[in-house]
Amino acid sequence: MSRYSISDLARELDITPRAIRFYEEQGMLSPERRGQERVYGSRDKVTLKLILRGKRIGFSLAECKELIELYDPAEGNRVQLETFMRKIEERRAQLDQQLLDIEQMKLELDTAEERCRAAIAATSA
């Protein structure tokens, strides 16, 4: 079992200790303590990676928190589970929309690049 200090994780994941403490404040992490120091395990690391990935695709921290809770099978009754399923479907739809957006964006980058090439060619002529 691997253990990390807060600055270990900060270095490895390229974020600040402040950010990590902030995520804890928001209830997304709850590391152990040795005295007053925080000690993180591999599960915490996974959670942090989930947060960072969520952020990269444009989710707010609140949304990232939901994703973490989805990952965490928090003992729920039937109604809650069905609510979860709906949330999962919403996410999936959102992700599919983002895939479309990205494809579209890439096409536009293609044409922008093409115009650049043309302009450079015109310059050297």
Partner DNA sequence: CATTTGCTTGACGTTAACGTAAAGCAAGGT
Partner DNA sequence: ACCTTGCTTTACGTTAACGTCAAGCAAATG
Q: Binders of a second copy among 77-116, rule CB under 8 A?
A: 77-78, 81-82, 84-85, 88, 91-92, 95, 97-99, 101-102, 104-106, 108-109, 112-113, 115-116
Apex 89 CA angle, 85 and 92, nearest 5: 135
Query: How many Cβ atoms from other residues are within 10 Å of residue 120's Cβ?
Result: 10
DSSP conformation class of 28: S
Cα–Cα distances (Å) from 78 to 67, 75, 102, in that order, read 19, 10, 36
Size of the site for DNA (CB under 7 A): 19
With CB under 8 A as the contact rule, the residue among 53, 61, 62, 65 that binds a second copy is: 53
Point out which residues bind DNA (CB under 7 A). 5-8, 16-19, 21-23, 35-38, 55, 60-62
